[in-house]
Amino acid sequence: MSFVSPLFFIFIPVFLLGTICTRGNVRILFYIVMSYLFYAYSFPPYVIILFFSSFVDFHVGRRISRTENKHKKYMLLCVSIMVNIGLLFTFKYAGFFIRQINDLRLCTAFTVPNLILPVGISFYTFQTLSYTIDIYRNKIKPTSSFFDFACYVAFFPQLVAGPIIRAAEFLPQLKKHVPLKRENTIRGMELVIQGFVKKLIFADNLARVVDEIFLNHSQYGGGVLWIGSLFYAMQIYCDFSGYTDIARGIGRILGFKFPHNFNWPYLSISIREFWQNWHMSLSYWLRDYLYIPLGGSRVRVDRYLFNILFVFLLCGLWHGAGYNFIIWGIYHGLLVVGSKAAMSIRIISNLWSRVPGIVNIFFTFLVVTIGWVIFRVEKTNVAFLIIKKMLCIEGNDFFMGFVSIDNVSYLIPLFLFGAALHIISYKLKYNIDGFSLMTNTYYPVRIVVLALVITILMLSAPNQRSFIYFRF
């Protein structure tokens, strides 16, 4: 089920009513049942996988905590890793790798499985893995309640597309949360509105032109392809951060505080800073559970290069089973390594320190936008052709096809307006968690107004698109 589907506006009142009418363990059980129903809407049989993953990691976590033998602890951790990564590999990557093996024609062709990808499997797999790894590292104690753990894994607001929440963040809140507190409800509804505006007004409108440009790329010159790439950069940001805002808003209404997932990423002054501000819950997960255990930067230069490239390779693969995602991940890894190597040269470092910040921001956004082309276009040869046209390496007419793009006359102002909002909110350090637009308004009026705004947003956008990150 999607936050922007009409059915969700039947689901959420029922969920809130049930929340009000229940307490304690009964409420937690209610959360689990409703979250499973929410998840089952996409493909009911895959609820079994969600339950199985929760069941295995709950019991493995308890066994790790009770076992004194280090070898047994490690073997139990390996069980958790193999089960979770095995499920993820089977449903997300098996078909891709079997096709590559078949293409080599070294043996009899294997049958490519025709499996439907379970929605959100990449997200909840990382959540359950973080739980068992943290227990193994003695950073947290296992919960004694399977219901608590099942609720942590399946809690519907962030189940499908994050943010990736650690058990240490969620489980303590589960026992103490108080739903529908006045200020939390207001801030939560404002976050939901912010998410709907990003998704329905910006992302979905820009998507129409983005799809047209990339689908018919051969008909356009570099100038139009730049428009498509810039629009896609805003589309994917508004789409993904919009989902996060809605998830955080619903969580806030229910009395939970979920971590931020974006921190004005397109105003980063370096590619390294971009990854500290983009999809932060994934970046920190990869840092804590992969990069640092590999040795981080406190190793030989060759090992450091391997660590960076390996982490970004897996980051690309996490997003999807395709060469475009692999290349996109390596592209960002090379950018991080290259920038660090350049800054280690004193002359370059001194010169770069004198460059105005706006130039750093522009250059970082430029290389990120080029990377989005690789991410967006499934066929890598097509992606490289588009990039060549954008950089005037190939193609003669830079402005070819500009006048034939539908809706571009009003979408360019929409893009500029969105970019201006991004900059203004950054300058003001605007954050709904710390500032409400309706602070001094009578509470019932605030609720009614915010509910009307949400309803109007939904009714004004009848042809909603699925969230981009539902595919990952």
Structure tokens at 253: 């209404």
Q: Which amino acid is at 316?
A: G
Which CA distances in Å does 81 have to 56, 125, 142, 306? 10, 9, 17, 22
Q: How many contiguous H segments (helices) and E segments (strands) does the chain have?
A: 21, 0
Find tokens 């339950």 and name the residue.
51
Whether the ω angle into residue 163 lies within 30 degrees of 0, i.e. cis, is yes
Rg (CA), the chain: 23
Residue 54: which residues within 8 A CB-CB, separation 6 or more? 128, 146, 149, 150, 153, 154
Distance CA 260, CA 248 (A): 8
Q: Extract the tokens encoding 145.
A: 């309640």
Q: Is 177 tagged catalytic?
A: no
Backbone torsions φ then ψ of 83, nearest 5 degrees: -65, -50
Selecting among 217, 279, 319, 332, the annotated active-site residue is: 319
Give the CA distances from residue 327 to residues 91, 186, 239, in Å, rounded to whole numbers and listed in that order. Answer: 21, 43, 23
| Cβ atoms of residues 332 and 318 within 8 Å | no
Enter the tokens of residue 42.
């996409």
CA–CA separation, 83 and 370 (whole Å): 36
Q: How far are the Cα atoms of 20, 24, 144, 154 from residue 30, in angstroms, in the given order?
A: 11, 10, 18, 12
> To the nearest 5 percent, what fractions of the chain are helix, strand and coil?
75, 0, 25
Cβ burial, residue 169 (10 Å; 0-12/13-18/19+): middle
Structure-token pair, residue 91: 């449903």
Nearby residues of 185 by Cβ (< 8 Å), 6 or more positions away: 252, 253, 447
Distance CA 256, CA 181 (A): 11
Q: Give yes or no for a contact between 158 and 243, defined as CB atoms under 8 angstroms apart.
A: no
State the Cα–Cα distance between residues 408 and 268, nearest whole angstrom: 27
* Catalytic site positions: 319
